[in-house]
Amino acid sequence: MRPFYVTTPIYYVNDKPHIGHAYSTVAADVLARYAKLRGRPTRFLTGTDEHGQKIEERAKELGKDPQAFVDEMSPPFAQAFRELGCDFDDYIRTTEPRHEAKVQELWKILAEKGDIYLGDYEGWYSVADEAFITETELKALDEVTRSKVVRVKEPSYFFKLSEYTDTLLEFYEQNPTFVQPEGRFNEVKAFVKEGLRDLSVSRTTFTWGIPVPGDAKHVMYVWLDALMNYMSALGGPAKAGEEALYDRFWPNATNDADVVHIVGKDILRFHAIYWPAFLLAAGLQPPSQIFAHGWLTVNGEKMSKRYGNFIPPGPLVEAFGADVVRYYLMREVGFGQDGDFAHKQVFARYHGELGNGLGNLLQRIVASILKNEFGGEVPAPNAIGDEERELVAVAEKAAAAAAQHLDLVGPHRALDAIFELVAAANRYVDRTAPWALAKSGDKERLATVCYHVLESLRWLSVMLAPFLPEKTRALREQLGLPPISPTEALDQWPKAGEFGGLPAGTKTAPGVPLFPRFDPKDEAAILEKLGANKPAEPAPKAEKKSKEKKVDEKKPEAAEAKAVAPTETKSAAKAEAPSTIVFDDFVKVDLRVGLILEAEAVPKSDKLVRCQIDLGEEKPRQILAGIRLHYAPEALVGKRVIVVANLAPRKMMGLESHGMILAASDTEHGLSVLRLEKDIAPGTRVS
């Protein structure tokens, strides 16, 4: 099996860990846990970046020695990541002797090749970013960052980066997935094509850094120092007769190791240009891939000291549990895109997909039907029908799709696929009604139904293990199964043809709900404690009465048919051709991207689902859709849909609907809600 080495950025210790650091580290942990499940030799690295002018200045402000300052600031990062359930194999600090020695070795190699020379640097230096910048870049900076830019004039060693322009472009051509997402790679290539300047790689105006070999007046540029951590943590090439981690986990002529660096988009240039240039110059193989994720805002606002909204992970873990925070971070934001951390949305995900979806699926079978009808033992399935074959097909498709998305560093897409199985299993329970089978005494059919739900849960316990390590352990315990113990060369990921691996006779152990509900008072108290409550929003203005004919509330079925796109009532093959309209008529229809925040079944209706949808407005819209026969409500949460936003309000089952979700259907495929391929922002106009 191909070795897999995944790394996070090493985090700058001028401040405390926050949710942005957690996002990168949880993503790397998910990928590492998944690789282990696939039987791959795996190594996961994180750590802290502890040199540079910014650190020296911050320590001086506090009246501390720089080493004492970083010794105090680094441990909280490791602690925060452990609290989040991140199982890293190594934690590197750039002030460690093992790291400093390898950085100096790299310098010597580059110097001996003639790629480093002594000169004078004069230009702008951003202390906030620890980066040399141009006049153009200076003008583009925000006011706060610009205030920390200094004009530098000092002797400096330079790396001949300009001579590696063509080498880098050729490398990019040969490695088309080196940077992901693709759009960011295009930005990198465009930057390099403009031509590169030689890079200043030493400083003399401060002393907190790794000394340049043979010239103690200079300390190395912090990015030459920091980037080497990915290799220094592996110990470098092995000496004769020794086995080194480097030889196993870093790609070379005899090793096909897969190395993935997870970084934020703000440091992509350093990783995608400087780092491969240093390595190629030294005759070393660059990593396999740099994946640049986006930035997180908090409740719609940019994280900033000015706003005081740098959220530490600890209180979130205390409030929700580590697995819920992990799940939310990987589920809520399209990996690679910018996203928002919204405290209230954590509750929506918790109660929707996790509680009503996964947790309820377990409780309604193990804690009730199985316990009462089979003495808590897994029954053997009997005759299998179309409903069972359909569920198995969904399970196999979900496992294959989730694996593919994780291989491509798409954790949010993997969760989309996995929760298709959660939704399908819940629909299967609704259709087969095991409680009715138990009441009727049809134990043969009941055994088949229970078995297929339990086996689906076993598959889910494996596929969700990288995301929810503790909750899936508890899930397996209730199923009567041991914890998953990934072993090298043993692929434990569910695959086609393997449905049915849960042994009949396994003794289950019903326990407490995986995701017990928070009542409104508890939610309010948690939001208050986390500082997430905002002043009450003003009451909405009274809406004008629609001149349209009122739908008869006593005939909900008629209203339900109009709650989604008109295509639900006719197959595409039989639909009548509409009369033509002019463009001015079309633009009257306000189509917008909507993000479903909450979804629940409407009581006393077989078809209606009540959705709370983010349309980029002050508050979510309530929209009712007649799609319950086709979608489990919890499976809709988090989906981006197309909404008719300027439709007059309609009342159905005593509830008011303020819009329409577009869908299409035919006799062959049933109904399908129109969805987006990309994570377009809620409220975006469709045109």
**Residue 553, pLDDT above cutoff 60:** no
Q: Nearest-CA neighbor of 48 among 279, 166, 222, 204?
A: 222
Indicate the range of 42-56, 290-304, 529-543 predicted with least confidence: 529-543
Please report which helix (H) or strand (E) contains residue 622, including its range.
Answer: strand 621-626
Which pLDDT does position 584 carry in this prediction? 52
User: Which residue range(s) make up the domain with 48?
Assistant: 4-293
Same domain, 390 and 479: yes
Task: Say if 534 falls within a structural domain.
Answer: no
Contact call for residues 46 and 8 (beta carbons, < 8 A): yes
- Listed in sequence order, the DSSP H helices in 554-644 are 556-561, 583-586, 633-636
Same domain, 480 and 576: no
Average pLDDT over residues 258-273: 96
Residue 230 exposed, middle or buried by CB count within 10 Å (0-12, 13-18, 19+): buried
- Cβ neighbors of 563 (< 8 A, separation 6 or more) are 608, 623, 624, 625, 626, 627, 650, 652, 657, 660, 661
Which pLDDT does position 579 carry in this prediction? 55
Beta strands per DSSP E along 8-111: 11-12, 42-49, 90-93
DSSP string, 223-275: HHHHHTHHHHTTTSSPPTT---HHHHHS-BTTB--EEEEEEEGGGHHIIIIIH
Beta strands per DSSP E along 376-530: none
Same domain, 422 and 481: yes
55 has which bridge partners?
A: none
Q: Residue 227 phi/psi, 5° resolution?
A: -65, -30
Chain-centre distance of CA 606, in angstroms?
A: 34
Same domain, 557 and 616: yes
CA distance 637 to 530: 24
Average pLDDT over residues 228-238: 90
Task: Say if 122 falls within a structural domain.
Answer: yes
Task: Say if 146 falls within a structural domain.
Answer: yes
Same domain, 286 and 350: no
**Residue 345, pLDDT above cutoff 60:** yes
What tokens were used for 462?
């494996």
Indicate the range of 385-394, 485-494, 561-570, 610-619 predicted with least confidence: 561-570
Task: Say if 328 falls within a structural domain.
Answer: no
Q: How confident is the model at residue 646 (pLDDT cuts 50, 70, 90)?
A: confident
Report the SS3 class of residue 19.
Answer: helix
Task: Say if 310 falls within a structural domain.
Answer: no
CATH number of the CATH domain containing 612: 2.40.50.140
Same domain, 363 and 457: yes
Task: Say if 17 falls within a structural domain.
Answer: yes
Same domain, 420 and 490: yes
**Residue 154, pLDDT above cutoff 80:** yes
**Residue 132, pLDDT above cutoff 50:** yes
CA distance 52 to 31: 31
Task: Say if 401 falls within a structural domain.
Answer: yes
Same domain, 578 and 479: no
CATH number of the CATH domain containing 441: 1.10.730.10
Please tell me the pTM assigned to this model. Answer: 0.78
Please report which helix (H) or strand (E) contains residue 279, including its range.
Answer: helix 275-281
C-beta atoms surrounding 144 within 10 Å: 11
Contact call for residues 110 and 153 (beta carbons, < 8 A): no
The domain boundary residue, chosen from 293, 327, 361: 293
Distances in Å between the alpha carbon of 553 and those of 228, 565, 593? 68, 19, 28
Please report which helix (H) or strand (E) contains residue 344, including its range.
Answer: helix 343-349
Which pLDDT does position 687 carry in this prediction? 65
Domain count, the chain: 3
Same domain, 482 and 574: no
Same domain, 623 and 517: no
Chain-wide mean pLDDT for the chain?
87
Same domain, 506 and 595: no
CA distance 579 to 480: 61
Task: Say if 465 falls within a structural domain.
Answer: yes
Residue 535 exposed, middle or buried by CB count within 10 Å (0-12, 13-18, 19+): exposed
Between these two residues, 194 and 677, which has the higher pLDDT value?
Answer: 194
Q: What is the pLDDT of residues 405-426, one digit of tens each?
A: 999 999 999 999 999 999 999 9
Distances in Å between the alpha carbon of 536 and those of 206, 539, 541? 50, 9, 15
**Residue 438, pLDDT above cutoff 60:** yes
Same domain, 511 and 554: no
- Listed in sequence order, the DSSP H helices in 408-442 are 411-432, 434-440
Contact call for residues 608 and 625 (beta carbons, < 8 A): yes
Average pLDDT over residues 84-95: 98
Q: How confident is the model at residue 136 (pLDDT cuts 50, 70, 90)?
A: confident
